[in-house]
Amino acid sequence: MIHLENASKTYQTADGPVHALAEISMDVPPGEFVVVRGPSGSGKSTLLTLVGGLSRPSSGRVIVAGEDLRLLNASARARFRAERIGFVFQTFHLVPYLTVVENVAVAALPDSKGAVRRRASALLEEFGLGHRLNHRPAELSTGECQRVAIARAMFNRPKLILADEPTGNLDSDNAGTVLTLLADFHRLGGTVLLVTHQEFSPGDAQQRTVTLREGRIESATTSASVSRSCR
């Protein structure tokens, strides 16, 4: 699903170049749950932006779902993101003036309006948010906001979800709910790349942990499956 080959990213700044990622190579097969850890500034978010096609590597190859992202122009990468990837962010990124159901439907690929709304409502019901469909984000708790954001990420049935500190703003109960939703997605065959600097409780064991330090992979370990441990 994800193939990185000597992928590097250097940002040019007024103070000179910043080498955020240095020749990273890794493979994530379909259906794997990978947790990327590392201290602040180690390159975790940069890695997600490369895999998500939000930016291009300075050198090396980034192949996701069979697409060599370095070869796609900005509009092709935008289409790739919309069709293939679900994004979840620490700060939710919900549109404040849209209702919950509209926030989920906003991600929809072309389809009839009625069908989109019905499908968004059904997904939100599944996520325990059926009573919130017509509320706006300001009326929701942070845990509910993140559930809406995950529904939006899953709406187009992507095979890959990229999550950047998705539990960073949540208490432990809500963090557990979010991890369970991601584990369910994984159990049904989805691939997850989750960036965090938090420690999960032992019940939230994951399949693989990759630790970054100063833009390089410091270690990679494999442990019990998320789907098994979150059931």
Near ligand ADP by CB under 6 A, which window of 43-51, 129-137, 141-149, 181-189?
Answer: 43-51
CB of residue 58 to ligand ADP, shortest distance in Å: 12
Considering only residues 2, 22, 35, 44, which one is a binding residue for ligand ADP as defined by CB under 6 A? 44
Pairwise CA distance, residues 56 & 62, whole Å:
8
Residue 90 or 206 with smaller CB distance to ligand ADP: 90
CB of residue 88 to ligand ADP, shortest distance in Å: 15
Closest CA to 184 of 211, 209, 140, 151: 151
Q: Does residue number 11 form part of the binding site for ligand ADP (CB under 6 A)?
A: yes
Q: Does residue number 225 form part of the binding site for ligand ADP (CB under 6 A)?
A: no
Q: Does residue number 46 form part of the binding site for ligand ADP (CB under 6 A)?
A: yes
Contact 82, 153 (CB under 8 A): no
Q: Which residues contact 126 (CB under 8 A, 6 or more apart)?
A: none
String of contacts with ligand ADP for each residue 19-38, x by CB under 6 A: -x-----------------x
127, two tokens: 């996520």
| Other Cβ atoms within 10 Å of 199 Cβ, number | 8
Q: Does residue number 52 form part of the binding site for ligand ADP (CB under 6 A)?
A: no
Which residues are 26's β-sheet partners? 4
43, two tokens: 């390159």
Interface residue list for ligand ADP (CB under 6 A): 11, 13, 18, 20, 38, 40-46
